[in-house]
């Protein structure tokens, strides 16, 4: 559109009259205008004005073919009338910053006026109104906010027109004294309350947004002409208010971006995208996610939902995430879903299950409810993979593992059957130490109800044992070994889970082992083989301490045996114990061991030849103290073939062979966690060759 300009230069040094001044254009170049009356611009352009203008300024131009410019200065009272387009300029201050257009008294849009912050080639700042704003059948449009801001007194809003962007930034509040207006772009609630009522209300147009900061609120729910997006921002906690529509189909995207928590005060349904940087608390009301889009947890450490969360638009063959980045349900096939279309989980962080009277579980309660498309409750008949997470950190107040930290590796999901806790069969737990979470996967979830994470309904069975490794044994020490691998940090994150004997341990993620107990020599695997059924066996990953004591990953010398390991009703209680090491001979108990509580105080000593299958021929004499002989597992075995591997598993240990003692020569001076480092000092030397050579077949 071609802009017509009518400029009549009127140089006014002082306007002292109280009556109106009419102008057809205004160009004030460096002069001063003291206005205590009214200046009305009926046509033409206002080229420039002083930084501050008193009195009342009226822009009355009515030619719809012209864009009329409005200087971005400080006005006392500012009025726009008639339906020509008036656009705000972007003049800069002495430090080259674009100035705000500021109105001290009242800002009035009347008689189909159009005020905009959009014009080609300009980029103005927000408009700031310090007092009353009136919009009668007019329109404020553009990419910049119209900000209602005052630090000391409330403001009034009287409007039945349109605002593209309205920003409430008054800690004392803004009162809607006369309503009926429409917001076509975005409502920002920065500070204070926007006091709308059912009698004096406003409408949010379709596909608009409401952003609410901590310290701001909306008194009542506005009218929603279609869908709306809601964003929460600022530092602190918020409780939902009028910005959330009661119509379940109206809320499209919810972005919880404040720093602490969002507390639901009503049921909330999100129909498209759910993004969380903070924590949503839904204890008394339900958060429903009616989209196939998974929620996005923008802060893995902190983002989560605590309370009632429903999803009713599930995907088959994909993870449907729920309360946090570790909690999900997946139905691999349509058949496994059994027509389930609605899942509600009530997972509460930092809260013990209501059925955990002794508070012996992880401090996180789980309740799962499922329904089909007809709304019928489905309690079983489905098969899902269920992943779930909980807080795990020693540094934060919201830690949930708490007293169970030392037995972390034994934690499992349990279901309340009405009278007692029933053990499920999940994989071993894992840790995400970087984000202070723990997580676990139950491969087969086939029932709903109340759940908790705890120690298995165990058998109160512990095992205590000791053994020595020849390679690390200190001569004449009367029962001590070196722990060079622990000192150098080589025991952490150097295990290859496909190497023998670590490959015998199931359902453990070795990369999740973040700490090692003090003064340990090396890893071992303790294998339990049922005497009645050799195929019925389980293995535990353990460590040997410098004094020969076998300890678990947490350093406990009482190794817990649970129902996750074996069921005595099915398997019986008698097992052969075999200790397996990566480069020492294996040793097996001569007689079966009864895994019963009565034997908890027993210490099974594999340094005694009469306790070990094969006796002195199966071990190496390493020390004699006060007439007592100390035997150790023989060193020097390079286990890299199926034959030697099988012999070690069966504790039929041959004497070392050529490959066993020639390997150190081929790898001399190498350092690290090495299979052919027989004396376990972290470096391959001739000492390793000599150890294996001395144990050879002669």
Phi first, then psi: what are they for 693, rounded to 5°? -60, -40
Residue pointed to by tokens 């027993």: 602
β-pairing, 320-321 vs 328-330, is antiparallel
Residue 230, number of CB atoms within 10 A of its CB: 22
In this predicted structure, the answer to whether residue 11 has a pLDDT above a threshold of 70 is: no
CB 148 within 8 A of CB 167: yes
pLDDT of residue 35: 80
- Could you read off the pLDDT of 359-372 as tens digits, one per residue? 889 999 999 999 99
Cα–Cα distance for residue pair 152/157, rounded to 1 Å: 16
With beta carbons less than 8 A apart as the criterion, state whether 414 and 421 touch: yes
Max intra-chain CA distance, the chain: 124
Pick the closest to residue 438 from 384, 505, 387, 495 (CA basis). Answer: 387
Judged against a pLDDT cut of 70, whether residue 622 lies above it is answered with yes
Alpha helices by DSSP H, listed for 637-685, are: 642-649, 658-666
Confidence of residue 414 (pLDDT cuts 50, 70, 90): very high
- Give, rounded to a whole angstrom, the gap between the first and last alpha carbons of the chain: 105
Matching residue, tokens 């045996």: 561
pTM of the predicted model, to two decimals? 0.71
Composition of the chain by helix, strand, coil, percent to 5: 10, 40, 50
Find out whether the peptide bond into 461 is cis, omega within 30 degrees of 0: no
**Closest by Cα among 363, 434, 461 to 404:** 363
Contact 323, 298 (CB under 8 A): no
φ, ψ of residue 599 to 5 degrees: the values are -100, 10
- Averaged pLDDT, 586-599: 93
Do residues 118 and 142 lie in contact, with contact meaning Cβ atoms separated by under 8 Å?
yes
Domain boundaries, the chain: 20-304, 314-457, 461-694
Per DSSP, the residues of 180-240 read: -EEEEEEEEEEEEEEE--SSS-EEEPTTEEEEEETTEEESS--EESS-EEEEEESSS-EE-
Q: For the residues 396-402, what does the mean pLDDT come to? A: 84
Cα atoms in the 13 Å half-sphere on the side-chain side of 619:
29
The DSSP bridge partners found for residue 542 are 524
Compute the residue count for the chain.
698
Handedness of CA 442, 447, 448, 453 (dihedral sign): negative
**616: number of Cβ within 10 Å:** 12
Mean pLDDT of the 190-213 span:
98
Residue 109 contacts residue 126 (beta carbons within 8 Å): no
Looking at the chain, the whole-number percentage of residues with pLDDT higher than 70 is 95
Sequence-ordered list of residues with C-beta below 8 angstroms from that of 512, at least 6 positions apart, any chain: 430, 431
> Are 4 and 66 within 8 A, CB to CB?
yes
Which helix (H) or strand (E) is 689 found in, with range?
helix 686-694
Sorted by sequence, the CB contacts under 8 Å of residue 492 that are 6+ apart come out as 513, 514, 515, 516
pLDDT of residue 598: 87
- Ranges assigned E (strand) in 569-626: 574-580, 587-588, 593-594, 603-605, 620-625
| Mean pLDDT, rounded, for 614-631 | 91
What is the model's pLDDT at position 4? 35
pLDDT in tens, 19-33: 455 655 565 655 567
Rg (CA), the chain: 38
The dihedral sign for the CA sequence 447, 453, 456, 457: negative
Average pLDDT, the chain: 92
Measured between alpha carbons, how far is 361 from 359 in angstroms, rounded to an integer? 6
User: Which residues have CB under 8 Å from 301's CB, separation 6+?
Assistant: 435, 436, 437
pLDDT-based confidence at 568, cuts 50/70/90?
Answer: confident
Quickly tell me which residue has 């400080």 as its tokens: 74
């Amino acid at each position: 559109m071609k802009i017509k300009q009518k400029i009549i230069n009127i140089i006014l040094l002082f306007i002292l009259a109280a009556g109106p001044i009419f102008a057809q254009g205004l160009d004030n170049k460096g002069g001063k205008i003291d206005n205590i009356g009214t200046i009305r611009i009926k046509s033409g352009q206002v080229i420039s004005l002083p930084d501050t203008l008193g009195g009342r300024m009226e822009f009355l131009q009515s030619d719809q073919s012209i864009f009329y410019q409005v200087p971005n200065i400080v006005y006392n009272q500012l009025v726009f009338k008639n339906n020509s387009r008036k656009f705000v300029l972007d003049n800069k201050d002495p430090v080259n910053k674009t100035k705000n257009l500021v109105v001290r008294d009242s800002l009035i849009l009347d008689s189909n006026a159009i005020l905009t912050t959009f014009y080609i080639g300009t980029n103005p700042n927000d408009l700031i109104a310090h007092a009353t704003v009136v919009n009668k059948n007019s329109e404020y449009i553009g990419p910049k906010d119209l900000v209602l801001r005052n630090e000391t007194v409330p403001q009034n809003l009287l409007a039945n027109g349109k605002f593209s962007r309205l920003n409430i930034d008054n800690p004392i509040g803004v009162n809607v004294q006369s309503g009926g207006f429409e917001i076509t772009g975005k409502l920002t609630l920065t500070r204070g309350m926007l006091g709308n009522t059912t009698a004096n209300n406003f409408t949010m147009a379709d596909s608009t947004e409401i952003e609410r900061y901590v310290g701001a609120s909306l008194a009542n729910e506005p009218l929603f002409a279609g869908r709306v997006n809601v964003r929460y921002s600022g530092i602190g906690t918020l409780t939902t208010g009028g910005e959330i529509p009661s119509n379940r189909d109206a809320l499209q995207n919810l972005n919880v971006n404040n720093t602490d928590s969002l507390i639901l005060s009503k049921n909330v349904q999100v129909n498209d995208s759910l993004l969380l940087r903070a924590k949503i608390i839904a204890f008394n009301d339900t958060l429903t996610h009616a989209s196939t889009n998974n929620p996005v947890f923008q802060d893995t450490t902190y983002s989560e939902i605590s309370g009632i969360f429903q999803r009713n638009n599930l995907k088959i063959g994909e993870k449907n995430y729920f309360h946090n980045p570790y909690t999900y349900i997946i139905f691999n096939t349509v058949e496994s879903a059994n027509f389930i279309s609605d899942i509600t989980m009530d997972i509460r962080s930092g809260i013990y299950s209501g059925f955990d009277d002794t508070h012996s579980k992880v401090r996180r309660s789980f309740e799962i409810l499922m329904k089909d498309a007809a709304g019928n409750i489905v309690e079983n008949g489905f098969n899902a993979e269920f992943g779930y997470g909980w807080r795990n950190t020693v540094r934060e107040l919201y830690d949930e593992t708490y007293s169970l930290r030392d037995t972390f590796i034994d934690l499992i999901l349990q279901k309340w059957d009405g009278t007692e806790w029933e053990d499920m069969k999940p994989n071993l737990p894992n840790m995400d130490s970087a984000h202070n979470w723990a997580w676990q996967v139950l491969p087969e979830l086939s029932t709903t109800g109340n759940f908790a994470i705890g120690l298995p309904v165990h058998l109160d069975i512990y095992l205590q044992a000791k053994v020595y490794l020849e390679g690390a044994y200190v001569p004449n020490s009367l029962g001590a070994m070196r722990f060079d691998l622990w000192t150098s940090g080589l025991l952490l994150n150097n295990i290859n889970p496909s190497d023998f004997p670590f490959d015998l341990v199931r359902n453990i993620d070795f990369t999740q082992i973040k700490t090692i107990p003090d003064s340990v020599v090396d890893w071992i695997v303790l294998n339990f083989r049922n005497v009645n059924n050799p195929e019925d066996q389980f293995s535990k990953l353990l460590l040997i301490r410098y004094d020969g004591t076998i300890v678990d990953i947490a350093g406990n010398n009482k190794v817990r045996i649970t129902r996750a390991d074996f069921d005595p009703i099915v398997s019986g209680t008698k097992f052969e114990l075999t200790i397996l090491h990566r480069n020492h001979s294996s040793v097996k108990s001569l007689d079966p061991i009864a895994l019963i509580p009565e034997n908890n105080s027993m210490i099974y000593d594999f340094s005694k030849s009469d306790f070990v299958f094969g006796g002195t021929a199966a071990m190496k004499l390493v020390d004699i103290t006060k007439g007592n002989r100390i035997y150790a597992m023989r060193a020097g075995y390079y286990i890299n073939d199926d034959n030697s591997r099988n012999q070690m598993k069966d504790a039929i240990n041959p004497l070392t062979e050529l490959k066993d003692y020639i390997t150190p020569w081929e790898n001399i001076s190498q350092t690290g966690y090495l299979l052919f480092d027989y004396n376990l000092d972290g470096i391959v030397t001739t000492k390793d060759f000599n150890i294996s050579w001395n144990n050879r077949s002669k």
